[in-house]
Amino acid sequence: MAMAATVSSSGITSSAFSRSVISSEPKVSQIGSLKLLDRVSLTTPMSLKKRSSVKPLNAEPKRNDSMVPLAATMVAQVAEEVVEAEDFAELAKKLENASPLEIMDKALEMFGNDIAIAFSGAEDVALIEYAHLTGRPYRVFSLDTGRLNPETYRFFDAVEKHYGIRIEYMFPDSVEVQGLVRSKGLFSFYEDGHQECCRVRKVRPLRRALKGLRGWITGQRKDQSPGTRSEIPVVQVDPVFEGLDGGAGSLVKWNPVANVEGSDVWSFLRTMDVPVNTLHAAGYVSIGCEPCTRAVLPGQHEREGRWWWEDAKAKECGLHKGNIKENANVNGESKKPVVEDIFKSENVVALSRQGIENLVKLENRKEPWIVVLYAPWCPFCQAMEAPYDELADKLAGSGIKVAKFRADGEQKEFAKQELQLGSFPTILVFPKNSSRPIKYPSEKRDVDSLTSFLNLVR
């Protein structure tokens, strides 16, 4: 038994959220006996050549250290065909203004069974819906770190039932996890950063998964992280991971929603009435592991809920390392100044390193101080510039000093060790007649909230 119908990419011309084109497409039903496509082969780092043929019915797929083949796949029988070599940089230009549906259709058309959707348990369900709407076969995999929220696991189950698929789960190596936990404890990432834990629980399982593929599809968007994702192309040769053939250029990465804003993704999900993670309703926008994810406040950027104890722009776990801008280091800080300084009110005192050291040493201050530790490139510092300047103007002549200290670059280690710097911005209040500064604990940085805190502790 074989399924013969496919959807031609030339027939998909709708905009990203046009219901009139997609509403007539029937859901692809799950079948038990499938015929498999031969694998796609990349003949050069920037080219693609594919020949398709039909394997014996019910052939047992080989298992290796990569993803289990066909766990979430429905493959149609196709005639032998040849796809000409493709320059993916040029293809990215051609598809720059294409809809996510068109981009998804092209990815599935070119790679068949050798490409899979990376599903994180958040709004990546949009990718599955787009794949479903193409009518083409597709695969879905996810990284189960062992530390996801219960709501995320229930979401996985709902998605599988809704689409009639099986998600291909990848797990971390138990020996590596055991070694990490035994040597450093369950929550070492709060003390020395999340990179090591993510490397064991996410990056290495992803590397194993991708070695069984020639392409993968992600839900990255340019608006997700200003420091690392603002230049994502819709298709690229993966600059970090290797695919089935090994070596540079052996894996192609597709980002169908790269140019779509988060609000539009959610409009699409609501229109299509697909399952969503219940954590979203509780204020979680970007969802990862339970210990490292929390809800965000209104007006906060979605990535602020991830690894919130670290720098505002260091919001990557390593899965998309290749998208970090060339002019940025691993912490997301620009090597060269790219923005003007902030907090420019004449009533904001700019403290030097010597100035803030002297302030820390004073045990009997004659007046209280409020100081923001900031980095001008940080979008969250930029967002509080107006209210902080307003606070300084409001308190002018009141006996309370309002100041700023630039704590990135060479001053960062000092600020971490001596000034309780966790992430940017960090706000400290130095009370009158007190030797120890008090760290402002809230993320509400409006004038009223800051004033209330000052009144409580000054």
Q: Which domains does the chain have, with CATH numbers?
A: 88-323 (3.40.50.620), 349-457 (3.40.30.10)
Per-residue pLDDT tens over the stretch 145-201? 999 999 999 999 999 999 999 999 999 999 999 999 999 889 888 877 788 888 999
Confidence grade of residue 225 (pLDDT, cut at 50, 70, 90) = low
Confidence grade of residue 390 (pLDDT, cut at 50, 70, 90) = very high
pLDDT of residue 126: 95
- Residue holding tokens 């593929």? 213
Given the residues 198, 292, 317, 378, select the one marked as catalytic: 378
197 is catalytic: no
pLDDT of residue 89: 87
Per-residue pLDDT tens over the stretch 105-120? 999 999 999 999 999 8
pLDDT of 103 strictly over 90: yes
Task: Specify the higher pLDDT residue, 64 or 298.
Answer: 298
- In the predicted model, what is the mean pLDDT of residues 426-446? 87
pLDDT of 404 strictly over 90: yes
pLDDT of residue 271: 95
- In the predicted model, what is the mean pLDDT of residues 272-279? 94
Cα 133 to Cα 11, 25, 381: the distances in Å are: 12, 7, 41
pLDDT of 402 strictly over 90: yes
289 is catalytic: no
pLDDT of residue 42: 34
pLDDT of 5 strictly over 60: no
pLDDT of residue 114: 97
pLDDT of residue 286: 83
Given the residues 197, 292, 317, 381, select the one marked as catalytic: 381
- In the predicted model, what is the mean pLDDT of residues 28-35? 32
pLDDT of 332 strictly over 50: no
- In the predicted model, what is the mean pLDDT of residues 133-147? 95
Per-residue pLDDT tens over the stretch 279-304? 988 888 888 898 888 887 776 766 67
Tokens of 28: 């692809």
pLDDT of 29 strictly over 80: no
Q: Tell me: cis bond preceding 425? Omega within 30 of 0 counts.
A: yes
pLDDT of residue 67: 52
pLDDT of residue 228: 56
Per-residue pLDDT tens over the stretch 255-270? 999 999 988 999 999 9
pLDDT of residue 230: 66
pLDDT of 333 strictly over 90: no
pLDDT of residue 81: 37
Average pLDDT, the chain: 77
pLDDT of 453 strictly over 60: yes
- Residue holding tokens 């399924």? 3
- HSE (CB half, 13 Å, CA atoms) of 204? 15
Per-residue pLDDT tens over the stretch 312-327? 554 444 454 555 554 4
pLDDT of residue 227: 56
Cα 134 to Cα 2, 25, 108, 431: the distances in Å are: 18, 8, 9, 62
CB 146 within 8 A of CB 289: no
Residue among 145, 134, 70 nearest 106 (CA): 134
Tokens of 206: 């992803």
Task: Specify the higher pLDDT residue, 372 or 190.
Answer: 372
Task: Specify the higher pLDDT residue, 38 or 340.
Answer: 340
CB 451 within 8 A of CB 391: yes
Query: How many angstroms separate the first and last alpha carbons of the chain?
Result: 78
pLDDT of residue 3: 39
Q: 83-97, 120-134, 137-151, 430-444: which range is least confident on average?
A: 83-97
pLDDT of residue 363: 75
Residue among 244, 210, 175 nearest 67 (CA): 210
